[in-house]
Amino acid sequence: MPTKTVVVGSAVGLHARPAAIISEAAGDLDSEVLIGIPGDEAVDASSALMIMTLGAGNGATVEVSGDDQAAVDAIAALVEQDLDA
């Protein structure tokens, strides 16, 4: 399963607005993508509520994984951006 480790770029972390943007993008993909704190259970990236339960703040390290490398890369790129700017 392709996995990519990235640092949360949003100034407020993975809260409402960034989580909504990420979940919408993940929902538009043809494959399931998971996101999680290393060592903890990953959650469905297409659920904004589940993303927010991670409690990942700015600068936190998260792992994005899934069956499709392109989908993992797309979601990982969003996580790295400041989506609250």
Tokens of residue 15, six digits: 């809260």
Which H/E stretch holds residue 56? Answer: none
State the first-to-last Cα distance of the chain, in angstroms, to the nearest integer: 32
For the domain spanning 3-80, the CATH number is 3.30.1340.10
- pLDDT, residue 84, reads 82
With beta carbons less than 8 A apart as the criterion, state whether 8 and 58 touch.
Answer: yes
Residue 62 is inside which H or E element, if any? strand 61-66
Domain boundaries, the chain: 3-80
Q: pLDDT per position in the chain (85 positions), as tens?
A: 899 999 999 999 999 999 999 999 999 999 999 999 999 999 999 999 999 999 999 999 999 999 999 999 999 999 999 998 7
9, 15, 63, 78: the active-site residue: 15
Active site residue 45: no
Q: Distance (Å, rounded) from C-alpha 85 to C-alpha 29? A: 24
